[in-house]
Amino acid sequence: MEQNFDMAGLLEWYIDAGVDEVCGDAPVLSICRSKEKPEEKALESVAVKTAAAAVRPAITTLAQTTTSACKNARELCEKAQNLAELKEMVCAFEGCALKFNAKSTVFGAGNLKAELMIIGEAPGADEDRLGAPFVGRSGHLLEKMLLAIGLKREDVYITNVLPWRPPGNRTPTDAEVAVCLPFLKRQIEFIKPKIILLLGGSAANALLDNAESISRLRGRWLEYIMADKTPITALASFHPAYLLRNSAQKAKAWSDFLRLMKKLKEN
């Protein structure tokens, strides 16, 4: 009996689950691997090496594509005279493949004269649907935390490292971050905030160009140096999405927000 197979539905399900690459035609059940005979394993290892050699040119191509997309992004940023122009350029930019899976380009939003600029990782499903940063569950928690230190959403400028949602909310790749980073840095130049709040490890690592864990980075006064060498005070804290899953860490985030409030009140 012929089955009615919904291929488009299956692909959509894969994309939502974060699958964005296909490594072979047949699925592999990795938990069964231990039952393989040694000779089968050896054959598989030759096949893997051959396949690796075959994809090497593809990796080189990816590196070249990334390098030229980064250059293109930097050139656009130099041309942008203001935030509105930059937003238009980001919306028209085609150098990041994430754009083609996303429904919206989620550019920064909020007070253009904000003293506090908040940077997250990337839009989630709600942000992608609505076209604005931090408007889902994480955004609601962020708004509550801001209110607790006397700030409304309209007081701050909120943006993300990436303006496009990675499929299934997977962690952005280094290449995606590298391509989109110039757009974030240019937003910082236009807003010139007094303090930058980095939410989560991805945002902190991308902007501060380090690989330290968020647990080590959070709660310390850090510095982001702009292209013209102006230093901007930065503070890293846990991402609200992480706090929603680990409420035991909310006390640490609260102490970070209190430090932030104190600093914002200093002249």
What residue type is 165 in one-letter code?
A: R
Q: What angle do CA 107, 110, 141 make, to 5 degrees?
A: 90
Does 198 interact with ligand URA (rule: CB under 6 A)?
A: no
Shorter beta-carbon distance to ligand URA: residue 123 or 182: 123
Measured from the CB of residue 161, what is the shortest distance to ligand URA in angstroms? 8
Q: Which residue is nearest to ligand URA (CB)?
A: 120
Question: Taking contact as CB under 6 A, which single stretch among the options 25-33, 115-123, 219-227, 255-263 is the one that binds ligand URA?
Answer: 115-123
Instruction: Return the structure tokens found at 253.
Output: 């985030």
Binding mask 148-187 for ligand URA (x = CB under 6 A): ------------x---------------------------
- Alpha-carbon distance of 93 to 97, in angstroms, equals 10
Measured from the CB of residue 124, what is the shortest distance to ligand URA in angstroms? 4
Are 195 and 146 within 8 A, CB to CB? no
Shorter beta-carbon distance to ligand URA: residue 72 or 155: 155
Measured from the CB of residue 142, what is the shortest distance to ligand URA in angstroms? 9
**What values do phi and psi take at 213, rounded to 5?**
-75, 155
Are 80 and 89 within 8 A, CB to CB? yes
Q: What angle do CA 241, 128, 254 make, to 5 degrees?
A: 25
Question: Taking contact as CB under 6 A, which single stretch among the options 77-85, 130-138, 149-157, 245-253 is the one that binds ligand URA?
Answer: 130-138
**Run of H or E including 210:** none
Secondary structure of residue 4 in the 3-state scheme: coil
Residues that bind ligand URA in the complex, under the rule CB under 6 A:
120-124, 127, 133-134, 136, 138, 160, 241
